[in-house]
Every structure is written in C-alpha cells, then in structure tokens.
Amino acid sequence: MLELVDLSRRYGDVVALDRVSFAVPEGTIVGFVGPNGAGKTTAMRIALGVLEPDTGTVRWRGNAVDADARRRFGYMPEERGLYPKMKVLEQLEYLARLHGLSKGEARRRSVDVVDLLGVTERAGDRVEALSLGNQQRVQLSAALVHAPEVLVLDEPFSGLDPIGVDVLSGVLRAQADRGVPVVFSSHQLELVERLCDAVVLINLGRVVTQGSIDELRASRDRRLLRVEVSGGDARWFDAVPGIRLEDRRDEAVLLALGEGVDEQRVLDVARATGDVRHFSRVRPTLAELFREAVQP
C-alpha cells in the first residue's frame, strides 16, 4: 500500500497542502480529483520525492519512502517532459537505466513497452518529430519502462483522443491487475468514475472526501427523484411535506427529498395526480458530487 500521511507544504504564504492523507492499496486504481490549484500536483511531486513536504511522510509497504524505493516508482508529470532531440528507444533505455535496470534489461523492456503502447514504428525517431498523441504514449512508456511497483500519473488522459484514452485505460487496468497501486489525477470525471476503484477529492489543499464512488454517493445527505406525471396539478408534490423542486422540464420534475420523506408516499401522491410516466431515483454523478463538495 502506498500511503501519503499528513502531508503539508507551503509556498511562501500559500498553503498548497494541509495535512493531506490517503492510501492507494496494491491492485487498485485511485482517482485524484479536485479543482485547478487544489494541490494535486504538489501531492504527487512529494510522493515522487521531486518536492520535499514541510511535514508528513510517504510510505510504501509500511516503510518511509527513500531514494532507492522511489527509483522503482513510475511517474508521469503534468508537464510532459522528454529530450526532444533524443530518439524514442534511446531515451527510454536511458530512463530505464536511471531507474536501475541493467543495459540488456533496459533495452528489452524499452522494446516491450513501445510495443505495448503502439509506438514501435516510431521507436527510431526523435521525440520532437512525433505527434503530440504519440509523444504522450512515449511519456507513458517512460513511466512504465522499468516495470514500476507504484504508478503515479498527473493528468495522464489530458490531450488524448478517444482511442488513446481506451489504450491508456487498458494499460492502467492491466497494471493494477498485476498488483500495482495506481493513482492518477484527472478532470475527466466520467472517466474516473468508470475506471477507478476509489476517489480522493481534494480542494484548497485539503482532502474533502474519499472512498469508493458508491460510498461517496451513500454519504451524500440528499436524495433525488425524477418524476414525470401527465395531467393534474403542476405542483402536485406540494402535498408531501419536506420536498423541494430542484428542476422542471415540461411535466418532468427533479425533486429533493428531505429527511424522513418516504419515496413510496411520493409515488402514491403522483399516481393520485395523473398518469405516472417516469419515476426513478437519481444517482448523482461524480461531477455532481464534485461540484457540491467544492462549491462553498
């Protein structure tokens, strides 16, 4: 398990992280979400040792992470970075060697990883000659080339086309399946919802909420119903105390149920009013949970 424990970091007067703690168990994918400037990049840089925290520690398998352990981490920074004039394969071999692989192993792994990400044909080209999408694939190759024990990716999906998104999703899932804890930040919340086992939501340097998406939904105090009734009083729901109208589109309404309001009672009232065309619980999307959490 990769653990970030009580991380705090200031830049001058700005508090970038305020006692941030979360864990990424082996074999799971954790989405790290939050608005711009929330502290995601700072937290990831600290996890990789690129930055030092003011206080707090990072642990891997129960031990404080040192330079040696970090060489076995894979990292994709938000600001993509490769040597523009170096050839793809040479570059990957170099990075693999920096991660501690032997010469032969570095060569073999580099060939494998460009194959995995579908850039074998460009392996002999300079990075600057590649399209942005292919550069992104090479960047991910650089994070994977040494078969890392831990993967930390900052906005890995930004700038990818739908096919690239599918390839990357598959790669991350495969990594998790081989037991690697994967944590990545993203603003593409549908993707996070689909791919991640758990989510950590951070705002203004603090963890606002964390857990599996179902847990996040359950922890929300609001319940929503979408009901469509044909005919009768447009404000039929006023007959049930504790209900608030959230949204209306023609005859379809979105209702927020107060505490203790019984859904079946709402249905009864609706049926008494007219023909009920639609009646459903609305499950909040991650995007909605996100907005609720970060809006003051």
Binder of another protein out of 27, 35, 77, 284 (CB under 8 A): 77
> Per-residue contact track with another protein, 178 to 217, x per CB under 8 A?
----------------------------------------
What is the residue whose two structure tokens read 């929503």? 224
Which of these segments, 28-36, 43-51, 225-233, 280-288, binds another protein (CB under 8 A)? 43-51
Q: What's 216's DSSP letter?
A: H
What is the residue whose two structure tokens read 């992104």? 136
Specify the residue, 52 or 250, whose C-beta has the smaller distance to another protein: 52
Which of these segments, 95-103, 207-215, 217-225, 227-235, binds another protein (CB under 8 A)? 95-103
Residue 82 binds to another protein (criterion: CB under 8 A): yes
Binder of another protein out of 18, 25, 57, 71 (CB under 8 A): 71
Residue 157 binds to another protein (criterion: CB under 8 A): no
Residue 196 Cβ, how far from another protein at the closest point, in Å?
22
Map 115-172 to HEC letters.
HHCCCHHHCCCEHHHCCHHHHHHHHHHHHHCCCCCEEEEECCCCCCCHHHHHHHHHHH
Binder of another protein out of 67, 104, 162, 241 (CB under 8 A): 67
Check: CB of residue 118 under 8 Å from CB of residue 134: no
3-state secondary structure at position 96: helix
Check: CB of residue 202 under 8 Å from CB of residue 34: yes
Binder of another protein out of 37, 61, 98, 280 (CB under 8 A): 98
Residue 287, phi then psi, degrees to nearest 5? -60, -40
Residue 107 binds to another protein (criterion: CB under 8 A): no
Binder of another protein out of 61, 83, 235, 252 (CB under 8 A): 83
Residue 95 binds to another protein (criterion: CB under 8 A): yes
- Nearest of 175, 121, 161, 117 to residue 142 by alpha carbon: 117
In one letter, which amino acid is 36? N
Residue 46, phi then psi, degrees to nearest 5? -65, -40
Binder of another protein out of 70, 107, 108, 222 (CB under 8 A): 70
> Per-residue contact track with another protein, 113 to 152, x per CB under 8 A?
-----------------------------x----------
The pair of three-digit structure tokens given for residue 161, joined into one six-digit string: 């086309």
Check: CB of residue 180 under 8 Å from CB of residue 1: no
Starting at the edge strand that comes first in sequence, how are the strands of the sheet with 275-282 ordered? 243-249, 252-257, 223-230, 275-282
3-state secondary structure at position 266: helix
Specify the residue, 94 or 279, whose C-beta has the smaller distance to another protein: 94
Specify the residue, 39 or 270, whose C-beta has the smaller distance to another protein: 39
Residue 27 binds to another protein (criterion: CB under 8 A): no
Provide the binding-site residues for another protein, judged by CB under 8 A. Answer: 45, 48-51, 67-68, 70-73, 75, 77, 79-86, 94-95, 97-101, 142
